[in-house]
């Protein structure tokens, strides 16, 4: 997807929207317009040269959307839904529209009532993030060598899908998969939401702040995502409640199994579980290195 002569708009100029702005700028579109409630951030982004136009006005937004060839909605899930309800009618004919919501079932619940056959809606989820919040922490470095999950809406054709994938590759993503809303929400409940909950519970369970004297690299790695964006993740956890609770309970079963092996001093059983875990995780590592062309 060549962005030359294309108009791009980004809805929400937070950490993720800002990262897209940084990345898209390098691909030289005709314009990058941003909509955000916070005028200071728009001015900052303008002065950084990562957007060409910014507005916090809903009527101006409407005009922008009518001319945008690509719209990236970078809002929290519930705000994404509100935005879609209000603005679906405003998208330009033939445009590609995408969101980056961390849960897809509620988005698709809304999409099915907003039928327009003349735009191409490709819901997406960049598997990238940062503990930095807001536009100030935005950088497209976070996209390098990452997965991107696409959940295309029914009216998206293969050509547009390929265009969008190519764009994502140009932004740095190295592995792009397509799936259904349900499968997305179930897989992400494990790989992302459960991980954030574990990291948070781990930090929550300690009171002693001298603990960093006693840590190795693993504790820092396991708890980095406990520097969590509380409002966003609260929304995501609760909106994906059922699929997430399944994953939490699966994890609790495994934790309980290992705990009991320790309690009962069942060395052989414990060692066998750990050996299997190692094997599984090594396979994942090889897989990761191959998919993202990483060095060992």
Q: Where in 207-246 is the site for its own copies (CB under 8 A)? A: 208-209, 211-231, 233-235, 237-238, 241, 244-245
| Binds its own copies by CB under 8 A, chosen from 147, 155, 170, 174 | 147
Q: Which stretch binds its own copies (CB under 8 A): 2-10, 68-76, 143-151, 165-173?
A: 143-151
Work out whether 281 is an interface residue with its own copies (CB under 8 A). Answer: yes
Token pair of 79 as six digits: 């705000």
Q: How many other CB atoms sit within 10 Å of the CB of residue 15? A: 22
Work out whether 141 is an interface residue with its own copies (CB under 8 A). Answer: no
Nearer to its own copies (CB atom), residue 146 or residue 165: 146
**Strand pairing partners for 98?**
72
Return the biggest CA–CA distance within the chain: 68
Work out whether 53 is an interface residue with its own copies (CB under 8 A). Answer: no
Nearer to its own copies (CB atom), residue 2 or residue 256: 256
Whole-number Å distance between alpha carbons of 11 and 62 = 12
CA–CA–CA angle 258, 200, 224 (5° rounding)? 100
Binding mask 247-276 for its own copies (x = CB under 8 A): xx-xxxxxx-xxx--xx-x-x--xxxxxxx
Torsion of CA 50, 166, 74, 243, to 10 degrees: -150
150: left (phi over 0), alpha (psi -120 to 50) or beta: beta
Nearer to its own copies (CB atom), residue 31 or residue 223: 223
Nearer to its own copies (CB atom), residue 53 or residue 219: 219
Q: Are strands 147-152 and 120-126 parallel, antiparallel or unpaired?
A: antiparallel
- Kind and range of the H or E run holding 202: helix 195-204
| Binds its own copies by CB under 8 A, chosen from 71, 81, 200, 243 | 200
Nearer to its own copies (CB atom), residue 52 or residue 139: 139
| Binds its own copies by CB under 8 A, chosen from 100, 103, 188, 243 | 188
Work out whether 82 is an interface residue with its own copies (CB under 8 A). Answer: no
Work out whether 278 is an interface residue with its own copies (CB under 8 A). Answer: yes
Work out whether 49 is an interface residue with its own copies (CB under 8 A). Answer: no
Q: Which stretch binds its own copies (CB under 8 A): 7-15, 60-68, 116-124, 280-288?
A: 280-288
DSSP code string of 227-249: S--HHHHHHHHHHTHHHHHHHHH
User: Smallest gap, in angstroms, from Cβ of residue 211 to its own copies?
Assistant: 6
Work out whether 199 is an interface residue with its own copies (CB under 8 A). Answer: yes
Whole-number Å distance between alpha carbons of 178 and 158 = 12
Q: How deeply is 287 buried, as exposed, middle or buried, from its count of CB atoms within 10 A (0-12, 13-18, 19+)?
A: exposed
């Amino acid at each position: 997807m060549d962005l030359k002569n294309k108009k791009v708009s980004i809805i929400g100029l937070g950490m993720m929207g800002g990262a897209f702005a940084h990345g898209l700028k390098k691909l030289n579109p005709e314009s990058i317009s941003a909509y955000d409630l916070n005028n200071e951030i728009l001015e900052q982004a303008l002065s950084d040269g990562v957007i060409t136009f910014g507005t916090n006005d809903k009527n101006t937004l409407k005009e922008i959307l009518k001319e945008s060839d690509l719209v990236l909605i970078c809002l929290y899930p519930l705000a994404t839904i509100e935005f879609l309800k209000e603005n679906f009618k405003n998208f330009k004919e033939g445009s590609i529209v995408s969101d980056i919501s961390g849960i897809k079932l509620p988005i698709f619940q809304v999409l099915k009532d907003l039928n327009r056959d003349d735009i191409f809606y490709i819901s997406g989820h960049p598997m990238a993030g940062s503990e930095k919040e807001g536009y100030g922490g935005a950088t497209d470095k976070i996209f390098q060598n990452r997965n991107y999950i696409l959940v295309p809406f029914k009216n998206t054709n293969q050509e547009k899908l390929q265009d969008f994938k190519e764009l994502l590759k140009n932004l740095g993503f190295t592995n792009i998969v397509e799936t259904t809303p349900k499968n997305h929400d179930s897989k992400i409940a494990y790989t992302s939401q459960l991980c954030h909950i574990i990291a948070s519970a781990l930090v929550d369970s300690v009171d002693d702040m001298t603990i960093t004297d006693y840590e190795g690299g693993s504790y820092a790695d396991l708890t980095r995502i406990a520097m969590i964006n509380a409002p966003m993740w609260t929304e995501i956890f609760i909106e994906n409640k059922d699929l997430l609770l399944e994953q939490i309970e699966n994890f609790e079963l495994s934790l309980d199994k290992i705990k009991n092996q320790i309690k009962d001093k069942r060395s052989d059983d414990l060692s066998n579980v750990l050996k299997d875990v190692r094997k599984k995780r090594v396979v994942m590592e090889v897989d990761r290195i191959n998919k993202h062309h990483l060095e060992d």
